[in-house]
Structure 1
Amino acid sequence: MNTPVAPPDLRLLSRPAGDGRAAAPVRILHLGLGNFFRAHQAWYTDRAPDADQWGIAAFTGRRPELADALVAQDGLYTLTTRSSDGDHVAVVSSLSTAHPGGDHDAWLDHWRLPDLAVVTLTVTEAGYTRRADGGLDLGRADVAADLAALRSDPAAPVHTAAGRLLAGLSARWQASGGPVAIVPCDNLSGNGEAVERVVRELAEQTGRPELVEVVDQGASFVTSMVDRITPATTDEDRATVAATTGLRDSAPVVTEPFSEWVLSGDFPAGRPRWETAGVRFVADVTPYEQRKLWLLNGAHSLLAYAGTIRGHRTVAEAVADPGCRAWLEEWWVEASRHMSLPADDLAAYRAALLERFANPRIRHALAQIAADGSQKVPVRILPILRKERARGVVPQGAARVLAAWLCHLRGLGAPVLDAAAAQVVPLADGPPPEALRRVLDFLDPDLASDRELVTAVLAHSETLAAV
């Protein structure tokens, strides 16, 4: 496809007289300023009928470049919804201000705002600094550093997600601010409870009773399920936006037409009218979490590891491969057997996934999906594996994903980009049978002693390695 040529007189995105409404007062604070947040939470807020009352202040992880680019264009950016038959480009105006993640003073200042009501965050599973059992990993250097800082001064700069939330809650409490809703938006099952646990454990470890109190009294922790495929932005995407809109956007986002957000929990200080923009509020998010985590994210892990071994670069390429497609269907049959949603609902969701995955105009890189498998595989694959083993069955779909991840750690397919790479990559070295048992032991010691499973995974790994 030829990239359109941009006109020479591009207009810079600006407000309020330009391409967006006036910036709304900040009532939402976000950690994890990136493409997914801007295609999802910010987009839903922009579409709410009361959007002019709900501005967002967003902070990057640590790198300042994206915040600088968005500040230069008044927080505005274009969102290109890319379907198989064309693009729809819109300017999103819900981001009122952006900050680099290292600006701790600004972070605390926003927590002190009297009208702050909602704090959302998009971090990876690894970003919660949890142990395998879900507790706070006190052995990590960054957690230990935050703990020392908070013991000395709750307003001291911190860096982990748990530390930043605790510091913010403390600053708000000291400013006599009311409780807020904390809403994690990620692929972690039961994410509201998971975040509450690590924040509370961090508070307890400081030895400051007042910090435990601010967790108990200063926030509700909302559980959410989020779903929208949002690939990394390319130079071609930037050039296409410029050519088709005449706008100079340094931070455009490209996404798919499908989007879903399901929430469960209390919002003590209110929230935007997200339900009119398509957000669903339910008593229990679990069935929707499982559907997305096992059918979409589990499939992504399968394609990321097995697909790259077969030479594919994107989800669309992998799902077009009959071999990968058959493996995908096999995994979905296993996973669907253990879901509580109606069969018709699951069938429709799987059909929609095939259409989404096959969209050739969404270049969702498998190497991007493959990152941090040590955090993703346990929550995406192991629950189904355990349920199938309880039935007395060796699930071939789940076994193949484990085999593909083992091959990935041994240098096949996508490069290893994992927060635990220093720990897991050496486990996969050496003769395959011993390497496999070490990797399975890392995931769950019971798996390493399961002879039938070990045999199945080893057979799949030999087949994949021979591709």
Structure 2
Amino acid sequence: MSRILNRAQDGRPAAPIRIVHLGIGNFTRAHQAWYTEHASDADQWGIAGFPGRTTLRPRVSPRDDALDAQEGLYQLDIQAPEGDRVEVISSISASFRSHDIESWMTLFADPQVVIVTSTITEAGYCRNPQGDLDLGNPELIADLDKLKSGQLDEPVFTGPAKFVRGLLARRAAGAGAITFVPCDNVPENGTMAETVIRQAADYVDASLLEWIDENVGFVTTMVDRITPHTSEEDAARVAELTGIVDPGLVVCEPFAEWVLAGEFKAGHPDWESVGAKFVDDVVPHEMRKLYLLNGSHSLMAYCAPVLGLETVYQAINDPRVLGWVNAFWDDAVQQVPLPDAEKQAYRAALLERFTNPRMKDQLARIAADGTQKLPIRIVPHLKAFAAAGKVATGATRPVAGWVLHLRGVGAPVNDAAASALVNEVRSGDLDSAVHAVLRFLQIDDEQIAATVLSQAQEMEAMRA
């Protein structure tokens, strides 16, 4: 007979809230919340979770309801090749709604809260193509204008505005130091967060900048754990194993990695006890993961569905896709400043992870927000080779796949920033589409254009 989770029977008592997280989705619950759960001092570090949605009509998901009903508990199914390893995660002490600005302010005003983590995707930080705060974003400006005019009790929905609203409350309360720890797949994400938060603060109240200098830390991170969408099959299997029907169930792979660099102003959990690494410079590790894992994910997400493939496992077991991935890695490793042996070991580990038959990571999910992902995962390789008068033929492949994707081939387009580009690439022939995409990526090279066109034509001919 099924039942729901409860702390008295299944978890440990809720720890005091010392971390606020924006974007409490599946990845966070498989990664940061898992690290916090297993830290040696887990009983001292509770997480308050807020969804990262930016909408004027906030909806409640089954996951939100499950976290509420189950006192923040959920099951994590670590899908090892040999079978399921299911555990209950207790590190989320409370969950809130995305528009609950009152609770957000209350938590930021609490001196006990000393860390803000976030997973709101690249788009959630509201940056323009130059990496600055996008002051042309009407939703962001509407939020910032509320704060600037003193409407401090009104909900705000964009990430930078929420962060500034929290800092205003913290300064007013004299609550002391706090540290931002962004965990999105963006190079130098600590610097990214600092830039948009400082620029948003300057727009709202320039006097906040000096307070930020003295009281706010920013940490750069590299995060890694493949976390597919939880399927009905996963839910049924775990319910059979545990007797618990859990709408909050998360599935993930066994592998996990977390590398952090920067100053924590007021402490952090003992994440090192779970294997997290604190380093002076996260960039080489960040580049290794961003270019090799995330870059190959993007390649598969845009190219493999052309062949009728739907998951990473299916893709990497297709000889054509495997060849494309290896060719891409041959290009990408040249931009990663780590020893060759370490890079080759990482490639081998990725193949082992991708070929885990238990993982059913959907390529359609990975394909979302290509306008944000390709400039940082793929373009650096193209430009590095072009500077030497060469074409990175492995790295042109995902661009060719993205052209087809934007033209309606393969996975559906799920990218809020792509509407104008979609219209452009669908308004003419394939050659004009290739040039439109390269203009968007700020690449002006006819050799690259010719290669992308040829590869797109080749894949179209293979179309399932």
TM range (shorter): over 0.9
Matched residues in 1 for 2:400 and 2:261: separation? 35
Matched residues in 2 for 1:371 and 1:279: separation? 28
Alignment counterpart, residue 12 of structure 1, candidates 4, 8, 27: 4
Residue 148 of structure 1 corresponds to 145
Q: State the 1:101 CA deviation.
A: 0.6
> Residue type matched to 2:265 in 1?
P
- Asked whether 1:452 is paired with 2:451, we answer no
TM-score by length of 2: 0.96
Alignment counterpart, residue 191 of structure 1, candidates 171, 189, 192: 189
* Residue deviations 1:157-195 (CA, integer Å, cap 9, x gap): 211111111110110110001111100001100000001
Q: State the 1:121 CA deviation.
A: 0.3
Residue 75 of structure 1 corresponds to 72
Residue 274 of structure 1 corresponds to 271
Alignment counterpart, residue 46 of structure 1, candidates 18, 22, 37: 37
Alignment counterpart, residue 239 of structure 1, candidates 233, 236, 241: 236
Q: How does 1:170-189 map to 2 (within 5 A)?
A: 170-189=168-187
* Root mean square deviation of aligned Cα: 1.1
Matched residues in 2 for 1:121 and 1:431: separation? 41
Residue 169 of structure 1 corresponds to 167
**Is this contact kept in 2: 1:116–1:180, CA < 8 A?**
yes
Q: State the 1:210 CA deviation.
A: 2.4
Residue 157 of structure 1 corresponds to 155
**Is this contact kept in 1: 2:215–2:265, CA < 8 A?**
no
* Residue deviations 1:299-341 (CA, integer Å, cap 9, x gap): 0000000001111000000000000000100000111112111
Matched residues in 2 for 1:189 and 1:74: separation? 35
Matched residues in 1 for 2:245 and 2:313: separation? 29
- Asked whether 1:336 is paired with 2:336, we answer no
- Asked whether 1:113 is paired with 2:110, we answer yes
**Is this contact kept in 1: 2:52–2:119, CA < 8 A?**
no
- Asked whether 1:216 is paired with 2:213, we answer yes
Secondary structure at the aligned position of 1:79 is classed as strand
Matched residues in 2 for 1:187 and 1:154: separation? 33
Q: State the 1:154 CA deviation.
A: 6.4
- Asked whether 1:379 is paired with 2:366, we answer no
Residue 64 of structure 1 corresponds to 60
Matched residues in 1 for 2:37 and 2:130: separation? 37
- Could you list the runs of 5+ residues in structure 2 that have no partner in the other structure? 54-58
Q: How many residues align?
A: 454
**Is this contact kept in 1: 2:127–2:134, CA < 8 A?**
yes
Residue 432 of structure 1 corresponds to 430
Q: State the 1:342 CA deviation.
A: 0.9
Q: Which moved more, 1:427-436 or 1:111-120?
A: 427-436
Q: State the 1:30 CA deviation.
A: 0.3
Q: Which moved more, 1:427-436 or 1:319-328?
A: 427-436
Matched residues in 1 for 2:436 and 2:423: separation? 9
Q: State the 1:64 CA deviation.
A: 2.6
**Is this contact kept in 2: 1:166–1:215, CA < 8 A?**
no
Residue 5 of structure 1 corresponds to none
Secondary structure at the aligned position of 2:176 is classed as coil
- Asked whether 1:125 is paired with 2:122, we answer yes
Runs of 4+ more than 6 Å apart: none
Secondary structure at the aligned position of 1:264 is classed as strand
Matched residues in 2 for 1:460 and 1:197: separation? 38
**Is this contact kept in 1: 2:116–2:179, CA < 8 A?**
yes
Matched residues in 1 for 2:309 and 2:214: separation? 50
Alignment counterpart, residue 364 of structure 1, candidates 361, 383, 394: 361
Q: How does 1:384-423 map to 2 (within 5 A)?
A: 384-423=381-420
**Is this contact kept in 2: 1:314–1:363, CA < 8 A?**
yes
**Is this contact kept in 1: 2:49–2:95, CA < 8 A?**
yes
Secondary structure at the aligned position of 2:48 is classed as strand
- Could you list the runs of 5+ residues in structure 1 that have no partner in the other structure? 1-8
* Residue deviations 1:393-415 (CA, integer Å, cap 9, x gap): 11111111111101110111100
* Residue deviations 1:403-432 (CA, integer Å, cap 9, x gap): 110111011110001021212101212112
**Is this contact kept in 2: 1:374–1:424, CA < 8 A?**
no
Secondary structure at the aligned position of 1:254 is classed as strand
**Is this contact kept in 2: 1:68–1:99, CA < 8 A?**
no
Secondary structure at the aligned position of 2:6 is classed as coil
Secondary structure at the aligned position of 2:110 is classed as coil
> Residue type matched to 1:144 in 2?
I
Secondary structure at the aligned position of 2:10 is classed as coil
Q: State the 1:439 CA deviation.
A: 1.5
Q: How does 1:20-31 map to 2 (within 5 A)?
A: 20-31=11-22
TM-score by length of 1: 0.95
